[in-house]
Structure 1
Amino acid sequence: MKSKTGKVIIAGGGTGGHIFPAVAIANALKNIMPALEILFIGAKGKMEMEKVPEAGYNIQGIDMAGFNRSQMLKNISLPFKLIKSYFQVKEIFKKFPPDVVIGVGGYSTFPVLRYAQKEDIPTYIHESNSFAGKSNILLGKKAVKVFVATDGMEKFFPPEKIQITGNPVRKKIVENTVGKEEARNYFNLHATKPTVLVVGGSLGAKSINDVIAFHLSDISTLDVQLIWQTGKNNSQTYISMAAFAKDNIYVSEFISEMEYAYAAADIVVARAGAMTVSELCVVKKPVIFVPYPYAAEDHQTVNAMNLVNKKAAEIVPDSEVRTKLFSAITDLLFNEEKKNTFIKNISALATTNANEVIASEIIKDIFK
């Protein structure tokens, strides 16, 4: 039997929805076994190369990119990048031979886990979405276990390997004790006025932002407050437009203290990325989802419908945002019965200890 090195590799990234769960799993592993050495592998140029070191972990970058669905010509170099990344992974494993490799999704997951499986190194997958990506489906066949967020994943993975854990949610959101008044004061807003949080992700959501920008005067007229994360794209235009509105709007390109934003909000408008969905379940907020329509396999719509079918959220398709979103916002904001139904049903879907469950399973299998 091969002797243990006490080393773990975690592969993945690309978005906060992959990075934050990966860091949460790493923290849980270290809490149980402080002597473990953990190395992340990410894609060069992606946000994990910045966010993982900020969380206190080392990361190695490989030259890997995903399949571009909107510009097919950009995929010509993909096979060469895959081959190159495979050799880069081989070199990393020589210097840092792991006992186990964990994939959390993102560009780097496939070459890293594929190489580990070829070398008979145990692999584990965390699939955060309700619709599994093609890479994870392929990798799941040889994984020891596949940790999933929701039920109904047997159509993607071998049933005997599936364990429903939910998604790891950031500790500061799970343990948040900030009250509504304190949170609104943080954003210089009134303590009791109805408040809407609009968040479209780190890059932003143009369709959502354009509707909000168009209705800024209506938001003031209704005496409603807005916390608006515009995202990076076109942020200065939206911020400038909001500057002409009254003092009932907080607008920013990015909100780092999301626990305050969630606490301040009466309702939320958001994309339906897996981590956003999981966080909203934990913070128990009525939500209108506007799924990003170009996500792989339209998985954001699947994520959202998983809640909509349980009467725990509402959905407005991206194609109907211009005509339906603002009326959906006002209807939900002033409909106490509907809000209370959503709060009750979304609360039942919350998972707060997924990272601990995942870490415990891996340590039990590999190190005990």
Structure 2
Amino acid sequence: MGNYRFILSGGGTGGHIYPAIAIANELKRRHPKAEFLFVGAKDKMEMEKVPQAGYRIEGLWISGLQRKLTLKNLMFPLKLVSSLFRARKIVKQFKPNVAIGTGGFASGPLLKMAASSKIPCVLQEQNSYAGITNKLLANKAKRICVAYDGMEQFFPKEKIIKTGNPVRSDLVDLKVDKREATDFFGLDADKKTILIIGGSLGARRVNQLIEKELNFFKDLKVQLIWQCGKLYYEDYKQYDSSSVKVLAFLNRMDYAYAAADVIISRAGAGSVSELCLVGKPVLFIPSPNVAEDHQTKNAKALVSKDAALMLKESELDTEFENKFTNLMNSVDIQNKLSMNIKELAMPQATDHIVDEIEKLLK
């Protein structure tokens, strides 16, 4: 049992933060005496989420490049230099055995400085289209853990290990049955239930669609668990009823997944990995407003294996009702999607990533 020291960096969105926390939790389980330090971007959500998970975090003054010329972009070189200096100091003081990056701006300076101090680095790439930070760090990393096939277009082939994405441990085996889950939400266990998830903040376009289609859902005789996100809850709570449950946030995802017969979701990497484990029929509506349009690429990777359906935001008004009616009317399509998405699940992802990290401990 060595007294190892692990430094982890990733953030900006939950998709980068939760995998880092899952990896830290598994390392801690195997090495109870180990020390952990997270490094994030000063004003991003990791500064709140990581301490909630029980870990120490240091913030760097860094942000991504905006897509248009702004004052923020002019500040970027200054922020980058400042972050590199700060990262070098953190690495020198903490002296980690291994550095682990899960993507997002802050992991760039930190892993660059760790690598130049000869500390072995592991990258974890959640998406089917690699993020810019991980692409820049690839040459310095010892191992790159990925969730999709075909990632050698971004990374050196000999460093890639397909592990899958870490997911919340309570989802690996749903212990709740449908009746218990529908009771929890005050719904009818004998009716078909549609779960709508737009991420923790919510998804404006998805919410607009659900609002517009409420009568359509009523005609189909289905009930809804509609997680509209905290930014939109005030706009949509008026629709809450015995058959439409409007929620800002889902604290019990296990109940929500167990209650659902069909799921409508964004296609962030974390959601996709979770939904593979859950194994229910899914209709993805990818967000077009993300870097490199990676959500569309994530969704297409499943659609190509007959494991999910997808509609672009631009197709919602014309194609949603047809596509959704076909899905609800065909038990065959539901079963096929369910079976195929389950085959893509990688429930041991966190264990595999930590196995790779342990190989680098010296």
Q: Which residue of 2 aligns with 1:299?
A: 294
Task: Quote the offset at 1:5 in angstroms.
Answer: 6.4
Q: Which residue of 2 aligns with 1:164?
A: 162
Cα displacement string for residues 133-159 of structure 1 (whole angstroms, at most 9, x for unaligned residues): 122111011100000001100000000
The one of 335, 357, 360 aligned to 1:362: 357
In the TM superposition, 1:1-368 aligns within 5 A as 6-69=4-67, 72-240=70-238, 242-243=239-240, 246-367=241-362
CA distance in 2, matches of 1:72, 1:266: 45
- Mapped contact 1:6–1:36 kept (Cα < 8 A): yes
Counterpart of 1:48, as a letter, is E
Unmatched tracts of structure 1, length 5 or more: none
CA distance in 2, matches of 1:26, 1:160: 25
Local SS of the residue matching 2:140: coil
Task: Quote the offset at 1:73 in angstroms.
Answer: 4.8
Counterpart of 1:251, as a letter, is V
Normalising by the residue count of structure 2, what TM-score does the alignment of the two structures yield?
Answer: 0.96
- 1:122–1:289 distance in 2 versus 1, CA, 3 Å: same
Counterpart of 1:229, as a letter, is Q
- Mapped contact 1:208–1:321 kept (Cα < 8 A): no
- Mapped contact 1:307–1:313 kept (Cα < 8 A): yes
Aligned sequence identity (%) = 48
Local SS of the residue matching 2:54: coil
Local SS of the residue matching 1:76: helix
Task: Quote the offset at 1:39 in angstroms.
Answer: 0.9
Task: Quote the offset at 1:51 in angstroms.
Answer: 1.3
Counterpart of 1:191, as a letter, is A
- Mapped contact 1:29–1:360 kept (Cα < 8 A): no
Local SS of the residue matching 1:92: helix
Report which stretch shifted further, 346-355 or 48-57: 48-57
Task: Quote the offset at 1:217 in angstroms.
Answer: 2.6
Local SS of the residue matching 2:57: strand
- Mapped contact 1:194–1:333 kept (Cα < 8 A): no
CA distance in 1, matches of 2:253, 2:70: 36
Task: Quote the offset at 1:71 in angstroms.
Answer: 6.7
Normalising by the residue count of structure 1, what TM-score does the alignment of the two structures yield?
Answer: 0.94
CA distance in 2, matches of 1:70, 1:345: 40
Task: Quote the offset at 1:8 in angstroms.
Answer: 0.6
Counterpart of 2:346, as a letter, is T
Cα displacement string for residues 64-91 of structure 1 (whole angstroms, at most 9, x for unaligned residues): 1112226755322122111111122123
Local SS of the residue matching 1:141: helix
Local SS of the residue matching 1:232: coil
Task: Quote the offset at 1:161 in angstroms.
Answer: 0.3
CA distance in 1, matches of 2:57, 2:174: 29
CA distance in 1, matches of 2:323, 2:72: 38
| CA RMSD in angstroms, aligned pairs only | 1.5
Counterpart of 1:214, as a letter, is K
Task: Quote the offset at 1:250 in angstroms.
Answer: 0.9
CA distance in 1, matches of 2:49, 2:186: 28
Task: Quote the offset at 1:221 in angstroms.
Answer: 3.2
Cα displacement string for residues 28-73 of structure 1 (whole angstroms, at most 9, x for unaligned residues): 1112222211111111221111111111111111111112226755
- Mapped contact 1:5–1:98 kept (Cα < 8 A): no
CA distance in 1, matches of 2:357, 2:108: 19
Counterpart of 1:167, as a letter, is N
- 1:175–1:56 distance in 2 versus 1, CA, 3 Å: farther
Local SS of the residue matching 1:77: helix
Local SS of the residue matching 2:360: helix
CA distance in 1, matches of 2:322, 2:55: 45
- Mapped contact 1:5–1:97 kept (Cα < 8 A): no
CA distance in 1, matches of 2:78, 2:69: 17
Task: Please list every run of at least 4 consecutive aligned residues from structure 1 whose deviation after the TM superposition is greater than 4 angstroms.
Answer: 70-73
CA distance in 2, matches of 1:85, 1:329: 48
Counterpart of 2:123, as a letter, is I
CA distance in 1, matches of 2:70, 2:264: 31
- Mapped contact 2:191–2:221 kept (Cα < 8 A): yes
Task: Quote the offset at 1:259 in angstroms.
Answer: 1.2
CA distance in 1, matches of 2:58, 2:18: 17
Counterpart of 1:258, as a letter, is M
- Mapped contact 2:280–2:338 kept (Cα < 8 A): yes
CA distance in 2, matches of 1:37, 1:290: 40
CA distance in 2, matches of 1:159, 1:190: 50
